[in-house]
Amino acid sequence: MHTQAPPKFLSKRSTRALAPALASCVVLLCAVTAGSASAARKAKSVTCHGGSNSCNATVGLAGGASNLKLKIALSDTDLKLAGVTVKPNSVRGAYELSKGSYSLGGSLYTVTLSAVQSIPKGATLTLKFAVPHKHKQVGQPGV
């Protein structure tokens, strides 16, 4: 393969001057690429383990989370969020769940999780989903 020599107007001095500019462009390109990759990672799919009456979805909290969108695949379409537990108990209050909503006919629950970075290894958040209880109304015949 034949390589061409650089044009004569590009002296060694000018190519040395271009090197830092090219290096900063590479760094900027890497930062932009990493930023878009981290934006793509801001969603996490979670499976809710259980049956048609209830299921549990567990998420690790270690190291925190910043506006992480959890997409929880529920085991049935009649399930609603019934409770949230955190382990260890000392982590209570170090996280926030917001913007919870159901989609796909009730089979997908999406919620945004934010948690502080200092949460220790092994800490978990468990979301329990269950079929809502139907309240019996007193005084109605046949109930």
**What pLDDT is recorded for position 141?**
58
User: Which of 12-16, 63-67, 96-100, 105-109 bottoms out in mean pLDDT, i.e. has the lowest?
Assistant: 12-16
Domain count, the chain: 1
- The reply to whether 13 falls in a domain is no
- The reply to whether 87 falls in a domain is yes
- The reply to whether 139 falls in a domain is no
pTM above the 0.85 mark?
no
Structure tokens at 132: 């809502």
- The reply to whether 84 falls in a domain is yes
Average pLDDT, the chain: 79
Q: In this model, does residue 18 exceed pLDDT 60?
A: no
Radius of gyration (Cα) for the chain, nearest Å? 26
- The reply to whether 83 falls in a domain is yes
32, 75 contact by CB (below 8 A):
no
Domain span at 83 = 42-130
- The reply to whether 19 falls in a domain is no
- The reply to whether 114 falls in a domain is yes
- For residue 99, how many other CB atoms are within 10 A of its CB? 10
Amino acid, single-letter form, for residue 143 = V
φ/ψ of 44, rounded to 5, equals -135, 130
65, 113 contact by CB (below 8 A):
yes
**What pLDDT is recorded for position 139?**
62
Amino acid, single-letter form, for residue 98 = S
pLDDT-derived band of residue 41, with 50, 70 and 90 as boundaries?
low
**What pLDDT is recorded for position 134?**
77
Strands 43-47 and 54-60: unpaired
Where is pLDDT greater, at 25 or 111?
111
Task: Report the C-alpha gap between 141 and 50 in whole angstroms.
Answer: 35
117, 63 contact by CB (below 8 A):
yes
pLDDT-derived band of residue 33, with 50, 70 and 90 as boundaries?
very low
- Specify burial of residue 44 (Cβ count, 10 A radius: 0-12, 13-18, 19+): middle
pLDDT-derived band of residue 39, with 50, 70 and 90 as boundaries?
very low
**What pLDDT is recorded for position 40?**
46
- The reply to whether 23 falls in a domain is no
**What pLDDT is recorded for position 2?**
57
Q: Which helix (H) or strand (E) element contains residue 12?
A: helix 12-40
Task: Report the C-alpha gap between 70 and 124 in whole angstroms.
Answer: 14
